[in-house]
Amino acid sequence: MAEWFEKVKNDFILNFVVDNRWKNLTTGLKNTIIITIFAAIIGVLIGLIVAAIRTTYDKNKETMKKNGGIGYWLMTFFNGVCKVYLSIFRGTPIVVQLMIMYFIIFMSAKNGVIVAIISFGINSGAYVAEIFRGGIMSIDNGQFEAGRSLGFNYLQTMLYIVLPQVIKNILPTLLNEFIALLKETSVSGYVGITDLTRGGYIIRGITFSPYMPLFAIAIIYYILVMFLTYIVGIVERRLRKSER
């Protein structure tokens, strides 16, 4: 037993202490967190806009068609654009999208992290859009009608009455998406970004340790996800308070 501990200790020192190799992990962790946070923000913004366009179109096309004019055609156009966006970004793997972004579209970009943020953000936006849309569609139409009958316009009804209910309902699903996003960033190494996964992999390449670096990054990802779950749990409980 003591022998085993000694071996683990030496392994630990070799992988993380010697030559400050732990810095590979912290650099990677920093990039992973930066990419995840900013991609999540972009994703939520895109998701909200796309969901807003699609549900507005679905719920108002009758009125807009009646009033006619450019508004109806614009909305039909944007609704179509949103559908194409969703279909493309959910229909292809994120690694492929990332590589197309990095090697073709942003060929001259020097900062891989920014390209990754854009790629993951646009990709996540497609999923978040459908989460929001599902959330909005799940609210009873009576809530819209009650809001409209009081004199709120469509946007006010959405903001004051529907969206607060939507956010409460979709929070668990949204958290799921953020967790998936965090873990998906582990493919950033494909375009040469030192994220957490690649950081561990660099150490592995130097020390040839079969276990230690991989377990280390697994544990760090796990801690990050647990932390995220904890934070959202607090928010969720606070929102649910209103129902008891």
Partner 1 sequence: MSDNTLIRVRGLKKHYNDGAVRALDGIDADINKGEVVVIIGPSGSGKSTFLRSLNLLELPTSGSIIFDGEDIAAKHVNINKHRQKMGMVFQHFNLFPNMTILKNMTIAPVKLLKLPKAEAEKTALELLKRVGLEDRADAYPSQLSGGQKQRIAIVRALCMNPDVLLFDEPTSALDPEMVGEVLDVMKGLAKTGMTMVVVTHEMGFAREVGSRVIFMADGVIVEEGTPSEMFDNPKSDRLKGFLAKVL
- Using CB under 8 A as the criterion, which residues of the chain lie in contact with partner 1 when the complex forms? 62-63, 66-68, 140, 142-143, 145-146, 148-153, 156, 160-161, 164-165, 168, 242-243
Q: State the SS3 of 94-153.
A: HHHHHHHHHHHHCCCCCCHHHHHHHHHHHHHHHHHHHHHHHHHHHCCHHHHHHHHHHCCC
Rounded to a whole number of angstroms, the minimum distance from the CB of residue 172 to partner 1 is 16
Rounded to a whole number of angstroms, the minimum distance from the CB of residue 198 to partner 1 is 44
Q: How far apart (Å, rounded) are the C-alpha atoms in residues 61 and 14?
A: 65
Per-residue burial over 210-239, b if 16 or more Cβ lie within 10 Å, else e, is eebbeebbeebbeebbeeeeeebeeeeeee
Question: Is the CB of 150 or the CB of 219 nearer to partner 1?
Answer: 150
Question: Is the CB of 92 or the CB of 143 nearer to partner 1?
Answer: 143
The secondary structure of residue 101, as a DSSP letter, is I
Rounded to a whole number of angstroms, the minimum distance from the CB of residue 133 to partner 1 is 20
Question: Is the CB of 171 or the CB of 203 nearer to partner 1?
Answer: 171
Question: Is the CB of 110 or the CB of 244 nearer to partner 1?
Answer: 244
Q: How far apart (Å, rounded) are the C-alpha atoms in residues 156 and 164?
A: 12
What 3-state DSSP class applies to 153?
A: coil
Rounded to a whole number of angstroms, the minimum distance from the CB of residue 137 to partner 1 is 17
- In one-letter notation, the amino acid at residue 243 is E
Question: Is the CB of 81 or the CB of 235 nearer to partner 1?
Answer: 235
Rounded to a whole number of angstroms, the minimum distance from the CB of residue 223 to partner 1 is 33
Q: What are the φ and ψ backbone dihedral angles of 109, each rounded to 5 degrees?
A: -70, 140
Rounded to a whole number of angstroms, the minimum distance from the CB of residue 58 to partner 1 is 15
User: What is the distance in angstroms between the CA of the first residue and the CA of the last residue of the chain?
Assistant: 53
Question: Is the CB of 165 or the CB of 207 nearer to partner 1?
Answer: 165
Sorted by sequence, the CB contacts under 8 Å of residue 31 that are 6+ apart come out as 113, 188, 193, 194, 195, 196
Question: Is the CB of 93 or the CB of 164 nearer to partner 1?
Answer: 164
Per-residue CA distances from 224 to 178, 217, 228 (Å): 11, 11, 6
Rounded to a whole number of angstroms, the minimum distance from the CB of residue 34 to partner 1 is 34
